[in-house]
Chains A and B, each alone.
Chain A
Amino acid sequence: MSLLHFFGQTLRIATPYLFAAAGGALAERAGVVSLTLEGFMLGGAFGAAIGAWLGGGAWFGILGGLAVGLLLGGLHALGSIRFGADQIVSGVAINLLVVGATRFALQLAFDSSSNSPRIAGFDGFANPLIWAALLLTPLLAVLLNRTRLGLRIRAVGEHPQAAATLGVPVARVQAVAVVISGGLAALGGAYLTLDQHQFTDSMTAGRGFIALAAVIFGRWQPLRAAVACLLFAAAETLQIQLQATQWIAAQFVVMIPYVLTIVAVAGAVTRAKPPAALGRPLAS
């Protein structure tokens, strides 16, 4: 295997992670728990299939995925911010909802229980989402550290009362962060559909949780989270390429992100500390 091929493969695997992790970092920094990433991604994947199929082109797929993601982000915001539902429960519900709804919609739209027909997509590195994912990390860092919205997101996730007393509309800032997070994670899902020219049932297969692991392992910092995404993707690439050698069982490579994350939150080296107000909405 050539090194170039290795990096290319890693980048392609990392792309959906980068999108979802960017979304996750944004929402969690605003204090909203991101168990929803998996659901957002799967929703985005399905939205891409519908978009590309109805619009007849891959770019419509991107739009479709984005639209579904923004919608799902809005739903999570409505539940956990407007109605004050437990964010973890709301997240679990949205994940289950998307699995069920995409299956139901597969039946409804394509009369299939497993997959969509072949749709338009992008082949390999012609996929603009790969290059967008590379730009995403610096953009996110700028958003968080150098813009008004970013400062407010950071303040709201750490000390919502303090932000509120200064007239910062806490609920609105959180809602914006969650909706953007939905859109970003959904683009990660859309990448999968457009890359494979097809939507298949539950095709995200836990990638949303790997992205969440990257956010936590990256200590809620966009740059570190992106590095974690690349690291996890490199491990997968290595595993795929070493499969034939039986050097290490695939299951142990699969465990890497999760084990690293557990070690990180348990603070074996130095403790990964979440935003102080994560999961605790501002009492009205």
Chain B
Amino acid sequence: MASANLTVEVVSPEKRVWSGEATMVSARTLEGDIGILPDHAPLLGVLVDGTVSIKASDGSTHDFQMSGGFISVSKNRVSVLGESA
């Protein structure tokens, strides 16, 4: 049984913007909005300009404005790559 939380990292070319545990991540890819919950299948997606919002496991919500970028999901690890404005 995998852990019930996602380990999320938001990184920009210059630095790591945010990292922590989360229960849900939602982002907007070329195909449309996707929501990622724990135990999601491995995924590599291209992000379009929009908001990535992360529901942290302590209940708080973090929003990041992205201008392009990528999201990669594997084994409950989510990495959001891009330049957050």
Partners in one complex: no
Q: Which residues of A contact B (CB under 8 A)?
A: none
